[in-house]
Amino acid sequence: MSHPGNDERTDNARDEIRERITTDESRMTQINRMVHVATEMGISVVQEIATETLKRKPGCSVKEFTKILDEYIAQQRVEANKNDNLS
């Protein structure tokens, strides 16, 4: 159960971390680069899935493709959970 004193401490700690990150320009630059690289990787994965999907299902609809992406994400989540449990 939540307690007002604990909530305030948690909020203050979070705000302090956020302030340190956003006021350090080099950190923000690094974070922006990481987000950019992660976005590029994600787009590359989607492009590979699209290529394979269109080979197997020419004329696949956007709805079908979205379902395939959802299934891929679910599979990756299961794999990630297996790996976490092995650690």
1-41 per-position pLDDT tens digit: 566 677 888 888 888 877 777 777 888 889 899 999 999 99
This prediction has a pTM of 0.60
Nearest 5°: the CA angle 66, 73, 54 is 45
Helix axes 25-56, 4-23, angle to 10 degrees: 90
The pLDDT of residue 46: 95
The pLDDT of residue 8: 83
**Closest of 63, 60, 38 to residue 51, by C-alpha:** 60
The pLDDT of residue 3: 66
Locate the domains of the chain by residue range. 4-86
User: Mind listing the pLDDT tens digit for each residue in 33-68?
Assistant: 999 999 999 999 999 999 999 999 999 999 999 999
Q: Which has the higher per-residue pLDDT, 5 or 75?
A: 75
- Residue 83: pLDDT above 70? yes
